Amino acid sequence: MESSQFGTLEDGTKVEAFTLKNTRGASAKVITYGATLTELWMPDRTGKLGDVVLGFDNLQGYLEKSNPYFGATVGRVANRIAKGKFSIDGKEYSLEINNPPNNLHSGPKGIAHAVWKAEPLHEADGAAVRFSIVSPDAKEGYPGNLSVSVTYRLTNNNELKLEYTATTDQPTLVNLTHHSYFNLGSSSDILGEVLYIAGDSYTPVDSTLIPTGEIQSVKGTPLDFTHPTAIGAHIAEMKGNPGGYDHNFVLGGTGKLKLAARASDATSGRQLEVWTTEPGVQFYTGNFLDGTLRGKRGVVYGQHAAFCLETQHYPDSVHHPNFPSVILRPGETFHSETIYKFSTQ
Ligand code: GLA
């Protein structure tokens, strides 16, 4: 495994990069800032490697406020918490409102914006690096010192395996996700890529993207991906400001590793399967990308330049007792796994 310096924060903290390589030529580059995946090179059907995730060439891009969480490990709680307020055991807590009127991705002091410790691991099947961080009590507004780890493994089977753990010293909330933006081909948008989602229901949202609490069938709606469908086939029906998909699909089966989604690109032949122990997956089509971000190799990222499949507990779960709980208590260990598995057709 190669390690190198990726950049330096204003306060002098160094950000390191690790490149995981497998025997098939694939590679994954991860950095200690946000335990972020910055590059993922996977073969097309002719064996030619291509970088299938969006990102920036240098640290500065990741530090900017405009970074839409490219490749980041998001927590303590991914997605939105209504009005940035919640209570545990009758005690109330407030978070920063960074996506008015809500908190998004735990705000600017969240672990997606912090430098993690890294520990390269030497394992039999491929390369791995384990990142860990302590999110201090009250820093983002959450109770408890939360110790989080995420291990990235690149197997010789072209799987990027992510394994998460978390422990706390006070009852708190945990909902960790991975925020890569994938584009499996070379087109400037993903509307022609085909998607299957292994969930026939979703959590409808209000105009601020907070779940209403209902669990609704996708049947007869533009959210029906229970049969492989081009992402762009019904996207125009997804009104909103901006339009497109930004929804949590219900997978169920918390703790059980199961297929969440399968995406493919006919031109490159690349296929991506997402497996997870999480009960939901947020399918997001880069609706907020608007052509103002210039990413790796000078590429301008326009709307729908990529899709995210963020495995997670449902958004705003703390306010919905009918959703699987995101409360972690002292003595418990949160554990989850997500696999992004690549192949060609
Ligand atoms: C998540 C959210 C989106 C958007 C992106 C970051 O996917 O669901 O609404 O905020 O993060 O830009």
Give the model confidence (pLDDT) of 266-306 as tens digits: 999 999 999 999 999 999 999 999 999 999 999 999 999 99
Q: What is the pLDDT of residue 240?
A: 86
Give me the active site residues, please: 179, 310
**Candidate of 105, 178, 207, 208 to mutate for ligand 1, largest count of ligand atoms within 8 Å of Cβ:** 105
DSSP label at residue 236: G
Question: Is there an atom of ligand 1 within 6 Å of 211 CB?
Answer: no
Residue entry with tokens 């197997």: 155
**Candidate of 282, 288, 289, 301 to mutate for ligand 1, largest count of ligand atoms within 8 Å of Cβ:** 288
Atom of ligand 1 nearest to the CA of 284: 7
CA distance 126 to 27: 10
DSSP label at residue 208: T
Smallest CA-to-CA distance from 103 within 161, 36, 175 is with 175
Q: What is the pLDDT of residue 104?
A: 98
In the predicted model, residues of the chain with pLDDT beneath 50 are none
Atom of ligand 1 nearest to the CA of 209: 9
**Inter-residue contact 282 to 276 (CB < 8 Å):** no
Residue burial 113-152, b: 16+ Cβ < 10 Å; e: rest = bbbbebeeeeeeebbbbbbebebeeebbbbbbbbebbbbb
Q: What is the pLDDT of residue 4?
A: 95
Q: What tens digit of pLDDT does each residue of 69-116 get? A: 999 999 999 999 999 999 999 999 999 999 999 999 999 999 999 999
Smallest CA-to-CA distance from 55 within 44, 65, 69 is with 69
Question: Is there an atom of ligand 1 within 6 Å of 284 CB?
Answer: yes
Q: pTM for this one? A: 0.97
Residue entry with tokens 């994938």: 182
Q: What is the pLDDT of residue 1?
A: 82
What count of residues does the chain have? 345
**Inter-residue contact 275 to 260 (CB < 8 Å):** yes
Q: What is the distance in A from the centroid of ligand 1 to the CA of 247? A: 10
Instruction: Return all residues near 14 (Cβ < 8 A) that are at least 6 apart.
Output: 5, 7, 8
Question: Is there an atom of ligand 1 within 6 Å of 68 CB?
Answer: yes
Question: Is there an atom of ligand 1 within 6 Å of 246 CB?
Answer: yes
Element at 62 (helix H, strand E): helix 59-63
Q: What is the pLDDT of residue 309?
A: 98
**Parallel, antiparallel, or unpaired for β 229-230 and 172-173?**
unpaired
Q: What is the pLDDT of residue 118?
A: 98
**Parallel, antiparallel, or unpaired for β 73-74 and 27-31?**
unpaired
Sign of the C-alpha dihedral computed for residues 260, 264, 104 and 107 taken in this order: positive
Instruction: Return all residues near 289 (Cβ < 8 A) that are at least 6 apart.
Output: 68, 301, 302, 303, 304, 305, 306
